[in-house]
Structure 1
Amino acid sequence: MTHGPAQSSVLLPRLPVPDSVLNMFRDQEEEVTDDSTKHGGRVRNFPHERGNWATYIYLPCEIQEELLELLELLISHARRHAVSLTAMEEFHISLSQSVVLRYHWINPLVQSLKERVTSFYRFYSTASQVKVYTNQHKTRTFVGLEVLCGHAQLLELVSEVDKVMEEFGLPTFYKNPSFHISLAWCVGDLTDKLEGHFLQELQEIVDGFEDSAHLLRFHWDQIRCKCGNKFFSFPLR
């Protein structure tokens, strides 16, 4: 389940932005043409509108080459069961939902996020439990690795990110989240087909992979916020 938007009245950024300043940004807004053929048939969760910037906050994950070999084993095994998985292009742990942000709120939100998260220290997590996930609208299914160690630190980070979201009247993160690193995806809801015995087989591949304990230990040293085509990084201490 997800949290709904903040129930109290929407809180505006600390200093109102005059219309004369907002008009300065109109020609800088992101132009997007939605074409599902360009992203594997995936469906946009919310329609793009001029001035709306899809935004989310996450921990970027730099994985070792050997883990890509493990991922290929998982994809090949799925293919033998007539399941076509596509490897993720990048790997991360989400700290927020994907939300819609107006252009003139980007800098205030980024500044608020910076104030809340840069006091956190770097830490490690282990993610070795294979699990199946779907997105909120059941349009995509993911095979991921659930975090088993480092969960408490992730909850602390999400708590601060949620406060930023509430400040701008945006949806907060999921209740009782299953923090995970998505490895591969497919279109549609294939939960019934992927769970059960098939999922157990994937887990056996992960457990039996050489040096998997080392490969599935991840070091987090920064938080990122993606707003449309803009990226903001916040180093941890």
Structure 2
Amino acid sequence: MALVQYSESESESEPDSPQRPTKRPRQTSNLGNQPSSLPPLPAAFHDLYASSTRVSVRDDPSLHGGRKRVIPHVEGNWPTHIYLEWYPTKEELSLLSQLIAQMEGQLDDHGTKLHSLLHSDLGARLPLHISLSRPVVLRTEQRQPFLEEFQAAMKQSNLSTFDVTLQSLDCVSNYEKTRWFYVLRAERPEDDGLNRLLGLSNQCLSQFEQPPLYELPQDAIASPKANDTRVAQADGQTRNDYSHCFHVSLAWSLTDPSSRERGQIARIHLRKVHELRIRFGCVKVKIGNHISSIPLRSGV
């Protein structure tokens, strides 16, 4: 439900209204300096308000900082995304904001503008994420079967909660080369949780004729060089290692940074960033505006 903002003139009584009550002086309070006694919001609360309000039924880049819609809006098609979600704390947000400012300072003055992904246009804090799929499209009749298939695969995998640390800065483009994202690369976690989740996601997507994320073409997988990217698993099997691909996007731009700018960004000091540990306890599946949260198993 959207909030309606009234102007001050609408919220006050007319000057000539009879028996107008006298305004009491506003009392100040120091409660803002005290820790809140209210319990934190449940994680599922954020899923209810994760989608922004649609301001146009057409693709209008002027409404979105110059961005163009990658997936056209078509009746009966449902944009779908699988990902891990991270809500940084205030301290973490402050650190990441400083990092974005440092990256912006390393860009030569040729019109490159960074758009932060930490806050909305209205200043609200936004979640960050690690993608486990491309932005894909499901048809209406595929939504429920796909979700049930992925939930079943997750349950059978018996994957546990895991931590992720961040290692380096980089700049990557989307598949269409229309936007460039300034990202923090993720370290490969214990038990290889990111690769395992990616494998589940790609496997389920392939059953619905959707493209995989990061996966090599079949001819590349068959080449001897591809053996360098494979990792052994506890069950004796091997799978491709895409640990170098997983990342958290912090900001974006419409222009590609130069090789010199990339080098300057890569040399930014990240000691405090390396100390961050991000705990992931569930996988999010967003189909249209509906978000399902699939928990990982607690404990080891």
Tell me the distance in 2 between the aligned counterparts of 1:76 and 1:181: 17
Runs of 4+ in structure 1 deviating by more than 6 angstroms, as ranges, are: none
State yes or no: 1:225 paired with 2:264: no
Residue of structure 1 equivalent to 2:3: none
Query: Could you tell me how far 1:32 is from its partner in structure 2?
Result: 4.3
- SS for the counterpart of 1:195 is helix
Which of these residues, 118, 130, 134, is aligned with residue 169 of structure 2?
A: 130
Which residue in the other structure is 1:185 paired with?
252
Q: Distance in 2 between matches of 1:213 and 1:78?
A: 17
SS, match of residue 114 in structure 1: helix
Greater fraction strand? 1
Mark the runs of 5 or more structure 1 residues left unpaired by the alignment. 1-29
Matched residue, 2:32: none
Q: Of the candidates 67, 71, 95, which is equivalent to residue 46 of structure 1? A: 71
Q: Which amino acid aligns with 2:175?
A: Q
The structure whose RCO (Cα within 8 Å, separation 6+) is larger is 1
The one-letter amino acid of 2:58's match is T
**Using the alignment, how far apart are the partners of 1:72 and 1:173 within structure 2?**
28
- Provide the rounded CA distance (Å) in 2 between the counterparts of 1:57 and 1:32: 24
How far has the Cα of 1:191 moved from its partner?
Answer: 5.2
Q: 1:74 to 1:116 in 2, by over 3 A?
A: same
Contact 1:75/1:86, CA 8 A, preserved across alignment? no
Distance (whole Å) between structure 2 residues aligned to residue 76 and residue 94 of structure 1: 24
- Residue 166 (1) aligns with residue 206 (2): yes
- CA gap of 1:68–1:191, structure 2 versus 1, over 3 A, is farther
For 1:111 and 1:161, the matched residues in 2 are separated by 12
Relative to structure 1, the CA distance from residue 191 to residue 235 in structure 2 (aligned partners, 3 Å threshold; closer, same or farther) is farther
1:1-237 paired onto structure 2 within 5 Å: 32-80=57-105, 81=107, 82=109, 83-88=112-117, 89-118=126-155, 119-150=158-189, 152-175=192-215, 177=242, 178-190=245-257, 192=259, 194-200=261-267, 202=268, 204=269, 206-207=270-271, 209=272, 212-214=273-275, 216-237=276-297
Moved more, 100-109 or 81-90: 81-90
Percent identical among aligned pairs is 32
Deviation of 1:147 (Å): 1.0
Q: Which amino acid aligns with 1:179?
A: F
Using the size of structure 1 for normalisation, the TM-score is 0.77
Indicate if the aligned counterparts of 1:92 and 1:181 stay in contact, CA closer than 8 A: yes
Structure 1 match to 2:235: none
In structure 2, C-alpha distance between the alignment counterparts of 1:193 and 1:39, rounded to whole Å: 28
Mark the runs of 5 or more structure 2 residues left unpaired by the alignment: 1-53, 118-125, 216-240
- d(CA) in 1 for partners of 2:84, 2:265: 29
Question: TM-score normalized by structure 2?
Answer: 0.62
Q: Which has the larger radius of gyration?
A: 2
How far apart, in 1, do the equivalents of 2:128 and 2:284 lie? 12
Q: Deviations over 1:56-94 (max 9, x none)?
A: 100011212222112222232344344421111430000
Partner of 2:13: none
Q: Contact 2:284 / 2:292 at 8 angstroms: preserved in 1?
A: yes
For residues 159 and 153 of structure 1, what CA distance do their matches in structure 2 show?
10
Helix, strand or coil at the partner of 1:45: coil
| Secondary structure in 1 matching 2:291 | strand
- Deviation, structure 1 residue 193: 5.5
Higher helix share: 1
